[in-house]
């Protein structure tokens, strides 16, 4: 191997090869002009983490023991279907539709945002279930 110094950057060329055959397509021995242009810059796109549904986002008045905080279905629906309740709930208790807006989960919801986390309005068919998710607010203040 022979050393070739070009503008204070050293590149190793294979021994026995002439410099004419080792030129790059732009006519230089150097693949990139580091001295005048600096190193190439690569930009990374900002990676945002998707928001996650959490139990704390439902506030203290949510009935955690009666309704699942992930999907919104009652505990008895979980027992009947044989799925885990609460923290280990998955697959929306086997239903294809949201427990709040009654729309298909796959088509209309981001991952994890079903039931109490759904941003859609409840429909009349699910209004009773949705109203049962939260305890009534206790009156505050002195009379």
Is the pTM higher than 0.85? no
Pairwise CA distance, residues 141 & 60, whole Å: 19
Pairwise CA distance, residues 143 & 141, whole Å: 7
Per-residue model confidence (pLDDT) at position 98? 93
Pairwise CA distance, residues 62 & 65, whole Å: 9
67 beta partners: 74
Pairwise CA distance, residues 79 & 99, whole Å: 16
Pairwise CA distance, residues 115 & 71, whole Å: 5
Per-residue model confidence (pLDDT) at position 72? 92
Per-residue model confidence (pLDDT) at position 49? 73
Residue 85: exposure state from Cβ atoms within 10 A (0-12, 13-18, ≥19): buried
Per-residue model confidence (pLDDT) at position 101? 94
3 beta partners: 12
Report the SS3 class of residue 23. Answer: coil
Per-residue model confidence (pLDDT) at position 114? 92
Closest CA to 88 of 126, 55, 51, 62: 55
Per-residue model confidence (pLDDT) at position 143? 60
Average pLDDT for consecutive 10-residue bins of the chain (143 residues)?
Answer: 54 54 53 60 74 84 92 91 89 88 90 90 92 84 64
Strands (DSSP E) along the chain, which ranges?
A: 2-6, 9-13
* Domain ranges, ordered by start, for the chain: 2-37, 55-131
């Amino acid at each position: 191997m022979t050393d070739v110094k070009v503008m204070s950057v050293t590149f190793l060329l294979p021994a026995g090869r002439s410099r004419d055959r080792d030129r790059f397509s732009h006519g230089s021995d150097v693949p990139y002009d580091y001295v005048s242009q600096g190193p190439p810059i690569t930009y990374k796109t900002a990676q945002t983490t998707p928001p996650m549904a959490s139990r704390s986002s439902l506030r203290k008045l949510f009935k955690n023991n009666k309704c699942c905080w992930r999907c919104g279905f009652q505990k008895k629906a979980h027992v009947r279907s044989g799925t885990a309740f609460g923290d280990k709930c998955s697959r929306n208790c086997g239903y294809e539709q949201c427990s709040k807006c009654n729309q298909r989960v796959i088509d209309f919801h981001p991952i994890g945002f079903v039931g109490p986390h759904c941003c859609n309005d409840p429909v009349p068919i699910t209004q009773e279930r949705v109203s049962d998710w939260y305890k009534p607010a206790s009156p505050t203040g002195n009379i």
